[in-house]
Amino acid sequence: MSTAQEIRATLEPVLAPLGLVVEDVSVSPAGKRRLVRVLVDSDISGLDVADTTSPVPPLSLDAVADATRAVSDELDASDVMGQSPYVLEVSSPGVGRPLASRDQLRRQVGRLVEIVHQSGTDTGRLTEVGSDTLELHVAATKKTPARHVTLDLDGVQRGTVQVEFKRADAGGPDGDDAHDDPHADAHEDTRDGTDGLEQAAAPEGDH
């Protein structure tokens, strides 16, 4: 088992009580230290299976800060990182991160997404993600009318959230979105595995 896999297995039960899941863990060299990146997101396993359309709120800065403390404390208490110094970065997935799983797509209901699938590529408002299919509302253009697209999840290769700078109707499905980059929140700790010294850096991101 790799170090990243060990970290993931260590952190999953710690983050579950916070309503979070581990999306990804990576460990890479950073000078004399190692950079440990942990991506977390909302646990939506508790959503009613019949609820395929309600928006999932993006993680707040407070939620990311709570996750950072929990992750930092657990890595301190365990020996998964040994005595080597490391930099810890905990964040939620960024807008540009590919969406591959059903849960990743479900969290983006209501947002504008590009979906690459077996038959091509469609960009539209994600209106529903069920157990087997998703639905997009593709806006009209000068050459084509508006349309609804239903895609099998098995045929979806990847999705990507599209950043929106201006939307027509504040508050609605096509309204102003205060979270154009809801996943830019990040917290970083610098930690020395030999003496336990910790320095908390300012939150990163566009907020």
Query: What ranges do the domains of the chain cover?
Result: 3-94+181-200, 102-161
Say which CATH class 102-161 falls into: mainly beta
Distance CA 160, CA 97 (A): 7
What does the DSSP assignment read for 124-162?
EEEEEE-SSEEEEEEPP-SSS--EEEEEEGGGEEEEEEP
What pLDDT, on a 0 to 100 scale, did the predictor assign at position 95? 87
Query: Which CATH number among 3.30.70, 3.40.50, 2.60.40, 3.30.300 corresponds to the domain 3-94+181-200?
Result: 3.30.300
What pLDDT, on a 0 to 100 scale, did the predictor assign at position 45? 95
For CA atoms 84, 74, 64, 12, give the dihedral sign. positive
How many other CB atoms are there within 10 angstroms of residue 61's CB atom? 15
Q: What is the value of pTM for the model shown?
A: 0.79
78-99 pLDDT, tens digit per residue, is 999 988 899 999 999 988 899 9
40-73 pLDDT, tens digit per residue, is 999 999 999 999 999 999 999 999 999 999 999 9
